Amino acid sequence: MKHSRLPLLTTLLVLIFFYLPIVVLVVNSFNASRFGGTWEGFSLKWYAQLWSQDEIWQSLRNTLFIAFGATAVATVFGTTAAFALHRFSSRLQRFHYTLIYTPLVVPEILMGMSLLLLFVALGAQLGLFTIFLAHVTFCISYVAMVVLARLQDFDFSIVEAAQDLGAGWWTAAWRVLLPLLAPGIAAGALLAFTLSIDDFVISFFVAGPGSTTLPIRIYSMIKHGSPPLINALSTLLLLVTFVLVWLSQRLTEEKNQT
Amino acid sequence: MKQAHKIKGHELLVTAPSFLWLALLFLIPTFIVFAIAFKPATPLGGIGAGWSLDTLRSLSNPNYPAIIWRTIWLSFATTALCIALAVPTGYFMAKASRKVRQFLLLLIIIPFWTSFLIRIFAWKVLLHPDGPVKRALVFLQLAEESTSLLYNAGTVLLVMVYTYLPFAVLPIYAAAEKFDFRLIEAARDLGAKSLRAFFTVFLPGIRRGLMTAILVVFIPSLGSYVIPDIVGGPNSEMIGNKIAQRTFTDRNLPHASALSAFLTLAVMAPLVAMLFLQGRRGKQAPLIQEDA
């Protein structure tokens, strides 16, 4: 493959494939035309209309409320899970690893369905709280994997040095390991936050009346609503995603310098 | 002895939160799905008392074999196309200079982080009857005014590849980045043609990444529901659509459970095989890779 141009061409094709639909969507959000087939001039009218859609802002509030709560819990539990998986290698941890790994690949619809049945069986009221529980469930795995990857590159001699100098296990973990791992934990938390904000399938299954999240609102807009409004909303969300990815990259760079 | 006891205590303390949470909200609910498949449905959309085989009987619906077959071939085709695109891309990224590599990685990660609904919707805009692609095709006389680019199985496949491709590129790149490219040179010095060196040295060298990529594309593909729901039509439904219809439209939870139980079994076969092949923990190519 040394002289072959195939890898380069495939990579370019993949990038065009990834970005063409996104670029068309962003351009169309500024198009005065309703269907976007033709360019009818630059316009911000869709953004202006978006501003007055109270339902969207209400659903955004729900989404952020769930995302902050789920991220907080999942970051703590995911981090402790990563510590356990990295430090101990018992049978318990092998089972623990399977429990953490499986939710990453299981289709979302199965997780949504099984959680819905659990809540129905328990007679729980579907709403923001059930969505929160569901989000923590899938976020734990992602946080654990990101932190675990960091732990594998981590130089544990620093922790051993602290212990040689008289620090106990907890002191060494709390005062030495945790601060050094903070960028990795923050990257895991950012991923959890993004996944929580974006989740549609699982939320849709466990949502109840009055707990519409932003993705559920977007889905019903795609099904019944006005396309240009979704273009405008999507463009704003893409902007948020770029900022989050950039932040996550910054956290990673910081890690490389230490 | 006391030391060992203390370490065991630490282990339980850091294992318990995630372990208990996932046991209660992931493992047990999976068993509940199987149990409710054997419960009768009530006309009001609830779950009846006692046990029944009615739901299992209703699975012999004549539409189901076609839907199951479509789900399987679409998932296979999606996986094959994703791997075919991801391997050369991962190879190129791993061989690129550090700066180019970082930039490409960023470009691959952005779609990974972008809302899945928005990425599907973008295709609906692109392929809309009044959208740019249709207009271009009609202009070039490659399509008739009446041809629809949406609502068929081909479009579902295209959007599935689009959605799952980042999940395939990341583990393959992670494995290719650790691959020692001097091995390919060595094979060529020993007389292997480029293509042969690629298939016999490079692909086996990144097999862990390949296996992870296959797993994280194939399994979620089997459970696709939003993609056929948005860009597909009545002739491109998958099992996921049926589960959603039974849950939300018919409110027949036992029937939805039976379908979910079937899908769970279908998903478990490749998952167990892969976990077994990959052996013990810590050896997988990372699923999430944010940086080189």
- The string of pLDDT tens digits covering residues B146-158 is 777 788 888 999 9
B186 at interface of A, judged by CB pairs closer than 8 A: no
Q: What percentage of chain B has pLDDT greater than the value 90?
A: 44
- The string of pLDDT tens digits covering residues A164-184 is 888 887 788 788 888 888 988
Q: Does the beta-carbon distance from B194 to A92 stay under 8 Å?
A: no
Determine the pLDDT at residue B288.
Answer: 47
Rounded-to-integer distance, Cα B186 and Cα B58, Å = 60
Rounded-to-integer distance, Cα B258 and Cα B132, Å = 42
Chain B residues within 8 A of A142 when measuring between CB atoms: 288
Q: What is the DSSP letter of B59?
A: T
Q: Does the beta-carbon distance from B36 to A117 stay under 8 Å?
A: yes
User: Could you tell me the domains of chain B?
Assistant: 63-278 (1.10.3720.10)
Whether the pLDDT of residue A72 is over 90: the answer is yes
Average pLDDT, chain B: 85
Burial call A245-257: b when 16+ CB within 10 Å, e when fewer: beebbebbeebee
Q: Point out the least confidently predicted range of A94-98, B137-141, B208-212, B218-222.
A: B137-141
Whether the pLDDT of residue A257 is over 60: the answer is no
Q: Point out the least confidently predicted range of A86-100, A171-185, B148-162, B223-237.
A: A171-185
- The string of pLDDT tens digits covering residues B264-273 is 999 988 888 8
Q: What percentage of chain A has pLDDT greater than the value 90?
A: 50
Q: Does the beta-carbon distance from A227 to B23 stay under 8 Å?
A: no
C-alpha to C-alpha distances, B51 to B38, B43, B250, B256, nearest whole angstrom: 6, 16, 20, 16
Predicted complex ipTM exceeds 0.95: no
Residue B170 in contact with residue B289, Cβ under 8 Å?
yes
Whether the pLDDT of residue A255 is over 60: the answer is no
pTM of the predicted model as reported, rounded to 2 decimal places: 0.89
Question: What does the CA dihedral B50, B56, B57, B59 come to, rounded to 10 degrees?
Answer: 140
Determine the pLDDT at residue B291.
Answer: 38
- The string of pLDDT tens digits covering residues B238-258 is 999 999 999 998 888 999 999
Whether the pLDDT of residue B188 is over 50: the answer is yes
Distance from CA of A239 to the nearest CA of B (A): 10
Average pLDDT over residues B96-112: 89
Average pLDDT over residues A135-153: 93
Helical (H) or strand (E) element with A152: helix A128-152
| Best residue in A2, A46, A117 for a mutation probing chain B (most B CBs within 10 Å) | A117
Higher pLDDT, B92 or A161: B92
Average pLDDT, chain A: 88
Residue type, A251: L
Confidence of residue B7 (pLDDT cuts 50, 70, 90): low
**Exposed, middle or buried by CB within 10 Å (0-12, 13-18, 19+), for A48?**
exposed
**HEC sequence for B124-138:** HHHHCCCCHHHHHHH
Average pLDDT over residues A125-153: 94
Average pLDDT over residues B26-34: 94
Q: What angle do CA A91, A93, A94 make, to 5 degrees?
A: 65
Rounded-to-integer distance, Cα A47 and Cα A35, Å = 16
Higher pLDDT, A186 or B55: A186
Determine the pLDDT at residue B25.
Answer: 96
- The string of pLDDT tens digits covering residues A6-23 is 899 999 999 999 999 999
User: Could you tell me the domains of chain A?
Assistant: 60-257 (1.10.3720.10)
Higher pLDDT, B216 or B63: B216
Residue type, B24: L
Higher pLDDT, B244 or A161: B244
Residues in Cβ contact with B154 at an 8 Å cutoff, skipping those fewer than 6 apart: none
B281 at interface of A, judged by CB pairs closer than 8 A: yes
Distance from CA of B287 to the nearest CA of A (A): 8
| Best residue in B6, B26, B75, B181 for a mutation probing chain A (most A CBs within 10 Å) | B26
Confidence of residue B281 (pLDDT cuts 50, 70, 90): very low
Highest mean pLDDT among A31-45, A156-170, B162-176, B274-288: B162-176
Determine the pLDDT at residue B74.
Answer: 96
Q: What is the DSSP letter of B47?
A: B
Rounded-to-integer distance, Cα A243 and Cα A237, Å = 10
Residue A200 in contact with residue B116, Cβ under 8 Å?
yes
Burial call B135-172: b when 16+ CB within 10 Å, e when fewer: eeeeeeeebeeeeebbbebebbbbbbbbbbbbbbbbbb
Confidence of residue A35 (pLDDT cuts 50, 70, 90): low
Whether the pLDDT of residue A254 is over 50: the answer is yes
Q: What is the DSSP letter of B147?
A: -
Chain B residues within 8 A of A245 when measuring between CB atoms: 106, 109-110, 113
Residue A228 in contact with residue A46, Cβ under 8 Å?
yes
| Best residue in B125, B188, B200, B257 for a mutation probing chain A (most A CBs within 10 Å) | B125
Which candidate, A238, A149, A14, places its Cα nearest to that of B168? Answer: A14
Whether the pLDDT of residue A156 is over 90: the answer is no
Residue A97 in contact with residue A165, Cβ under 8 Å?
no
